[in-house]
Structure 1
Amino acid sequence: MKQSSQRSVILLMTGGLLIASPNVALNNINIPATSPINTGTIAAGNGLKLGTLVPTTGDLSSIGQNMPVAADLAVETINACGGVNGAPVTLINEDDQTDPAAGASAMTKLTEVDRVAGVVGSFASSVSSAAVEIAARNQVMLVSPGSTSPVFTERARNGEFNGFWARTAPPDTYQAKALAALAKKQGLNNVSTVVINNDYGVGFEQQFVTSFENLGGTIVNRDQPVRHEPKATTLDTEAAAAFGGGAEGVAAILYAETGSILLQSAFKQGLTENVTILLTDGVYSPEFVEQVGKTPEGKSIIAGALGTVPAASGVGLDAFTTLWQNSTGKQVTAYVPHTWDAAVLLMLAAEAAKANTGEGISSKIREVANAPGVEVSDPCEAMELVRQGQDINYQGASGDVDIDEYGDVVGNYDVWRVNEDGSLEVIDTVAPAE
């Protein structure tokens, strides 16, 4: 790993090193040459250490693979404009494998071995549930870019996290209401549900059922909810139960790998015709649609399926999109802006606290995210204002990221559709139903 001057980039990625080339211009910012590479240990010193805990393998890898790249880019950007508290930031990326046990092990490493002050993660709510206890115990700030289960709100209300938890994506209390509103907007009156049996799936299901019924809809399998195990390899019975009950639509709250198995089974059993499939953020990726497969005629098996995903509509989105495309050559994908914002907020909070500690970040993260203060979306401009002692109200790429006392933010949702060729298209927006 590079050990270098204050404005260098220090990054450790899962499975290897990501090292900026000497004198390379990143996003019109010149990063000076650095000292020789040391592939042994993480750079020593008192600079801020952060980590990521996201799924680059496993059931959510199709979405999670871009998350550490977004966090890396945030650190590169801040290091190029002076770092945090006068020193460069170190980032350590860990793959949670979309598995709570693996995530807990990686979180323990980040907190107790690497001694990070803050972590961006996780994505799967089940992994964050395991990780947040470790974070709170070690006084490390955990900011999730995508764990949306309502369970975290309740646990925060109960005082379990001691302020060491926040998220930049809104909880599924809002997304479930948005999906219910979408179902009614499509004219659906009778819907069944099928969900992955974890915090994300069950929490979403429960809120969706309440919201859809409040809108006058009927859940046909309300008394016999269909929930499949996260590591299931065959889902014929679950597919038949969810799709075979005569519902006009099926709200399927899934992850990509197991979700593709379920939808393939429903199609092979002849149960998907004339049924509107309603999906969510957990499967919003072209890779998922490809996994589900195509008909003999070459059309996507789930063509016409509709879904919701937290919208990225912040003041800083356009500038971030340009930065991302110039740096990676790729399009911005789901939860990438939320990951960027999570990393930026951790660094701004550390600077505001004048301390590279989890306690310091926890004490200042809502202060830099919320009003009052100067509204600012550029991270370097925000950092300079904080250095000058000014109050700021960071306006993110994902949204305003106004964090409440339970670590939650509020947002609206994009409506996406699967086209016949398997491509994904955002076609509308929907607000959570009251």
Structure 2
Amino acid sequence: MKRQDLRLLALFASLLGFCGTASAACTATIGGVMSLTGSLGVLGQQIAKGAQLAVADLDSAGGVNHCTAKLSLLDDQTSASVGVDAAKKLVDVEHVPAIIGALSSGVSAAILTSVATPSKVVLISPASTSPTFTDLAKAGKTAGYWFRTAPSDALQGVAMAKVALDAGLSKVAILYLNNAYGQGLSAEFANAFTKLGGTVTQNVVYNPSQPSYRSEVNKAMKPKADALFLIGYPGDGTTIAREWISAGGTRAFLLPDGLESQDFVNDVGSQYMKDVHGTAPGSVTTPSLETFKREYRQKFGELPTQAYIPNAYDGTVLIGLAMDYAGSADGTAIRDSLRKVTDPHGEKIYAGAAELKKAVSLIAQKKPIQYIGASGPLQFDKYGDIDAPMVVWSVDAMGKVKHTGMVTVEDIAKLRARLMH
């Protein structure tokens, strides 16, 4: 072989080596927009850990499309305008094809309509529960780019009505946050509660970030109710609960997922939280749930008693698997592939790096799989919604938030059927 040929061969080999290194060093970025500060920050910082654990598992399973999996997580400060700016940065600058988030329904709605749908980017929320999203999907305004791994408040409202009546609370005052979450949950609860025989004594809206809520509290207190259903987030919720208690309101509380927080209970004062009846999206017991709990403890320590951490894990895993199935970073292909990785006829795949590695192998053969998540089976309907049970929670004698029961999917379905007649 001539010396010139040898030099060309060496150059060719070095180029091959360079290309191989570049391929190994590529990055598949999943966007994230969550409330790390603001009124949902105390919950969001924990929920984000679910997404971080999912990316670690995807990476251990071989990455996404043979590239290193990365989560680019931005803080929306529980603000719709900040959330939209964060999503625009992820889409326009980092070119992400899918986003896990947001948490607040108001923030998710703004991102969905202003950024995700127009840009053909998938948005999977682990915590936005407003029925508004179902209505948007039915009206064709999401173009199928919307999914959520948490159930709609159309389910939570019914579950809370059952919990209240089972506790002997027949007269309930409602104070709700003036956003998509508060509006949707208050309406669903009021409808279910009254149709099942209860009375809503007042239904009072409040705006976020007020220095005082004395006027709203005074209005909600008359006539006297058996309990207060307070719909909101830690922060404003703490201020309202304190003012309600100081004004002499009943100390029986109905509290939703947004206030399932040990910090909230501590800030209000656990001595005032001895008669709490709470609901939050629960998890169907699956092998994935136990794996998730074990991995979470190994990486972050004790798993807090609050909703949506498993849901964030599942949503992020689904994005990674769908990107693998699509074989590209194209939002539309990922949207369509989400049905392939949650196919009830596919081979069952559970949480954890070992199972996800198995999934990657099946996906390479273009075989359908059914990812069964830490939060449940995750069967999306045509509007991107799922069914899930509702966990019942309370505050124990030691002032700790504890799960005390479950309202099953079947229970909720039966009650909803009753409400239709």
**TM bucket by the smaller chain?**
0.7 to 0.9
Does the Cα contact within 8 Å between 1:48 and 1:117 map onto a contact in 2? no
Q: What amino acid is the match of 1:427?
A: T
Take 1:184 and 1:270, find their aligned partners in 2: how far apart are those partners? 23
How far apart in 2 are the matches of 1:178 and 1:55?
A: 26
Pairing partner for 1:285 from 261, 271, 290: 261
Counterpart in 1 of 2:85? 105
Give, in whole Å, the separation in 1 of the partners of 2:24 and 2:111: 25
Is 1:188 the counterpart of 2:169? The answer is yes
CA pair 269-165 structure 1, distance change in 2 beyond 3 A = same
Given that 1:77 and 1:380 are in contact with CA atoms closer than 8 Å, whether structure 2 keeps it comes out as: no
Alpha-carbon contact 2:149-2:378 (below 8 Å) kept: yes
Which residue identity lines up with residue 143 of structure 1 in the other structure? I
Gaps of 5+ in 2: 1-22, 417-421
The residue matched to 1:351 in structure 2 has which SS?
Answer: helix
Superposition pairs for residues 46-125 of structure 1, below 5 Å?
A: 47-125=27-105
* Superposition deviation, residue 383 in structure 1: 2.6
Does residue 199 in structure 1 map to residue 180 in structure 2?
A: yes
Q: Is this contact kept in 2: 1:314–1:395, CA < 8 A?
A: no
Q: Please give the secondary structure, in 1, of the residue aligned with 2:38.
A: coil
Q: 1:330 offset after TM fit, Å?
A: 2.5
Q: In structure 2, how many angstroms separate the alpha carbons of the residues matched to 1:154 and 1:45? A: 42
Question: 3-state DSSP class of the match of 1:65?
Answer: helix
Q: How does 1:134-153 map to 2 (within 5 A)?
A: 134-153=115-134
What is the distance in 1 between the residues matched to 2:201 and 2:275?
22
Deviations 1:242-277 (A, max 9, x none): 23421112221111100111110011111124xx21
Q: Is the 8 A contact 1:300 1:421 kept in 2?
A: no
Superposition pairs of residues 219-368 of structure 1, within 5 angstroms: 219-221=200-202, 225-273=203-251, 276-293=252-269, 299-315=270-286, 316-332=288-304, 333-368=306-341
Partner of 1:392: 369
User: Alpha-carbon deviations, 1:132-190, whole Å to 9, x = none?
Assistant: 12011111111000000000000011111111110000010000110011111112222
1:46 Cα deviation after fit:
5.8
Q: What residue number does 1:18 align with?
A: none
More helix by share: 2
**Cα contact 2:40–2:234 (8 A) shared by 1:** yes
Match of 1:169 in 2: 150
> Which secondary structure does the structure 1 equivalent of 2:235 belong to?
helix
Mapped contact 2:101–2:125 kept (Cα < 8 A):
yes
Q: What's the secondary structure of 1:56's corresponding residue?
A: coil
Q: TM-score, normalised by structure 2?
A: 0.87
1:375 counterpart SS class: strand
Deviations 1:346-386 (A, max 9, x none): 01111111112211110111221231211221333223222
Structure with higher Rg: it is 2
**Counterparts of 1:388 and 1:322 in 2: how far apart (Å)?**
30
8 Å CA contact 2:32, 2:73 repeated in 1? yes
What is the TM-score when the length of structure 1 is the normalising length? 0.85
* Contact kept? 2:26, 2:68, Cα under 8 Å: no
- 1:209-262 C-alpha deviation (Å, 9 max, x unpaired): 1111121112122xxx20100222201111222234211122211111001111
Aligned position for 1:371: 344
Work out whether residues 227 and 250 of structure 2, in 8 Å CA contact, stay in contact via their aligned partners in 1. Answer: no
How many residues are aligned here?
382
Identity over aligned pairs, percent = 33
SS at match of 2:338: helix
